[in-house]
Amino acid sequence: MPMTYIISAMLFLLTATVSYAADRVTPYGDYSQWCSAYGTCRESLGPSEAERAIAGYFGSKGLRATNMKHKERFIEADIYRDNRLVDRILFDRKTGRIRSTY
């Protein structure tokens, strides 16, 4: 009987973990197509180029990036799906890397 509870708990946790991972829209450390897969750009992207890169990256996934705030070489943006905030990201203009701030 106790083994049944342990197995049930493990299956519940596994299911919760898989559904959480599937709901993430920004894999940790992903990069925009404007730079290489190794996280380097030929030159640091300008503010307008970086905004276009963010909008294009998330637009291709059916998401919308808004509220872009420039902080030195980084841009913070809110990511929405159907008017629901699903993530807040940080974009590095020097490397093209995108990561979730959560």
pLDDT per residue of the chain (102 residues) written in tens, 0 to 9: 566 766 666 656 555 444 444 455 555 556 556 565 555 666 788 889 889 989 988 998 899 999 999 999 999 999 999 999 999 999 988 888 888 887
Flag whether 5 is in a domain.
no
Residue ranges making up the domain that contains 96: 26-100
Largest CA distance in the chain: 62
Q: What pLDDT shows up at residue 101?
A: 83
Report how far residue 75's alpha carbon sits from residue 72's, in angstroms, rounded to the nearest whole number. 8
Flag whether 49 is in a domain.
yes
Flag whether the pTM goes above 0.95.
Answer: no
Report how far residue 90's alpha carbon sits from residue 94's, in angstroms, rounded to the nearest whole number. 12
Flag whether 71 is in a domain.
yes
Flag whether 14 is in a domain.
no
Flag whether 42 is in a domain.
yes
> Are 95 and 40 within 8 A, CB to CB?
yes
